[in-house]
Structure 1
Amino acid sequence: MAAADLDRKRLYHIGNLSIFMIGLGFAVRANIAPDLQREIYDPIDLANSAAMVGEALGATFTGFALTLLFGSALVDLIGMKRMLLLSALGYVLGSLGLLAASSVPVGEAAQALVLGSLLLTGLGWGAVEAASNPMVASLYPEEKTHRLNILHAWWPAGIVVGGLLGVGISAAGLPWELNVVILMLPSLVMAGLVMKAVFPVTERVAAGVSYGEMLKELFRRPLFWVFWACMFLTAAAELAPGQWVNISLSNIVGMQGIVLLVYVSALMFVMRHFAGAIAKRISSVGLMLFSCTAAAAGLYLLSLANTPLLAFAAATVWGMGVCYMWPTMLAIISERFPRGGAVALGLLGFAGGLSIQFVLPLMGGIFDSAKAEAAGGVAQLSNLSPEALAEVLRYASVESFQAVAFLPLLLLPVFGLIWLFDRKRGHTQPATV
Structure 2
Amino acid sequence: MQQPTIQRKQLFVASCTALIVTAMTFAFRASLEGVWGQEFHLDKEQIGWIFSPAFWGFTLAMVFGGPLCDIIGMKRLIGLAFIGHVSGVIIYLVAKDATMLFIGTLCIGIGNGMVEAACNPLVVSLFPENKTTMLNRFHVWFPGGIVIGGLIAYALLEKLQIGWHVLVALLLIPAVIYGVLFLKLTFPPTERVAKGISTKQMFAACVNPLFIVMVICMFMTAATELGTNQWLGALLQGAGISGILVLVFINGIMALGRSFAGPVVHRLNPNGMLIFSALFAGIGLILLSKASGGAAFGAALVFAVGICFFWPTMLGFVSEYLPNTGALGLSLMGGAGMFSVSLILPVMGKWYDKYKAAAVAAGEEAAKADAIAGSNTFMKVAIMPAILVVIFVIVYFARRKHYTQHKQAIA
Q: What's the TM-score bracket when you normalise by the shorter of the two chains?
A: over 0.9
Q: For residue 24 of structure 1, report the CA deviation from its aligned partner.
A: 1.1
- Answer whether contact 2:241 2:292 (CA < 8 A) is retained: no
Match of 1:37 in 2: 37
Change (3 A) 1:334 1:360: same
Compared CA separation, residues 177 and 60, structure 1 to 2 (3 A) = same
Partner Cα distance (2:100, 2:343) in 1? 21
Q: Where in structure 2 are the equivalents of 1:4-15 lying within 5 Å?
A: 7-15=7-15
In 2, are the aligned partners of 1:6 and 1:198 still within 8 Å (CA)? no
SS at match of 2:163: coil
The question of 1:226 aligning with 2:217 is answered: no
Letter in 1 for 2:23: G
Match of 1:72 in 2: 66
Q: Tell me the residue number matched to 2:224.
A: 237
| Match 2:181 to one of 186, 193, 204 | 193
Q: Which amino acid aligns with 2:122?
A: M
Contact 2:20 2:141 in 1 (8 A): yes
Aligned residue for 1:403, secondary structure, equals helix
Q: Deviations over 1:347-382 (max 9, x none)?
A: 1011101110111110001111112212229xxxxx
Bigger shift: 126-135 or 271-280? 271-280
Task: Give me the identity figure in percent.
Answer: 37
State the SS of the aligned residue for 2:52.
helix
Secondary structure of 2:41 counterpart? helix
Indicate the residue corresponding to 1:266 in structure 2: 252
Q: Which one-letter code corresponds to 1:293 in the other structure?
A: L
Post-superposition offset of 1:427: 3.0
Aligned to 2:150: 163
CA-based RMSD: 1.7
Distance in 2, matches of 1:397 and 1:147, equals 35
**Does structure 2 retain, via aligned residues, the 8 Å contact 1:41–1:52?**
no
Q: Are residues 5 and 55 of structure 1, via their aligned partners in 2, closer, same or farther at CA, if it must alter by over 3 Å?
A: same
- The TM-score with structure 2 as length reference comes to 0.95
Residue identity matched to 2:266: K
Q: Which amino acid aligns with 1:412?
A: V
Letter in 1 for 2:262: G
**Corresponding residue number in structure 2 for 1:45:** none
Cα gap change, 1:72 to 1:34, in 2 (>3 Å): same
- Does residue 86 of structure 1 match 2:80? yes
Q: 2:119 aligns to what? A: 132
Aligned counterpart, 2:46: 52
**Residue 340 of structure 2 corresponds to residue 360 of structure 1:** no
Aligned residue identity for 1:416: V
Counterpart-to-counterpart distance in 2, 1:427 and 1:247: 45
Match of 1:107 in 2: none
Shift of 1:425: 5.1
Matched, 1:393 2:387: no
Q: For the residues of structure 1 that align with 2:174 and 2:296, how far apart are their CA atoms?
A: 31
Summarize the Cα distance change of 1:389–1:331 in structure 2 as closer, same or farther, 3 Å threshold: same
The partner residue of 1:183 within 171, 181, 187 is 171
1:41 deviates by 3.0
Question: 2:262 corresponds to which residue?
Answer: 276
- Rounded to whole Å, the distance in 2 between the matches of 1:88 and 1:35 is 26
Query: Which residues of structure 1 form unaligned runs of 5+?
Result: 43-48, 105-109, 378-383
The answer (yes or no) to whether the contact 2:226–2:341 under 8 Å persists in 1 is yes
TM-score by length of 1: 0.91
By how many angstroms is 1:39 displaced? Answer: 1.1
Match of 1:329 among 311, 314, 319: 314
TM-fit CA distance, 1:5: 7.7
- Cα deviation for residue 74 of structure 1 reads 0.8
User: In terms of mean alpha carbon deviation, does 87-96 or 234-243 score higher?
Assistant: 87-96
Corresponding position: 1:152 with 2:139:
yes
Matched, 1:28 2:28: yes
Q: How many residues align?
A: 408
Query: Counterparts of 2:171 and 2:406 in 1: how far apart (Å)?
Result: 39
Paired position in structure 2 for 1:256: 242
The alpha-carbon deviation at position 4 of structure 1 amounts to 5.3
**Separation (CA, whole Å) in 1 of partners of 2:399 and 2:322:** 15
Q: Offset of 1:13 from its aligned partner?
A: 0.5
Which residue of structure 2 lines up, in the alignment, with residue 380 of structure 1? none
Aligned to 2:198: 210
Unaligned runs of 5+ in 2: none
Conservation of the 8 A alpha-carbon contact between 1:28 and 1:183: no
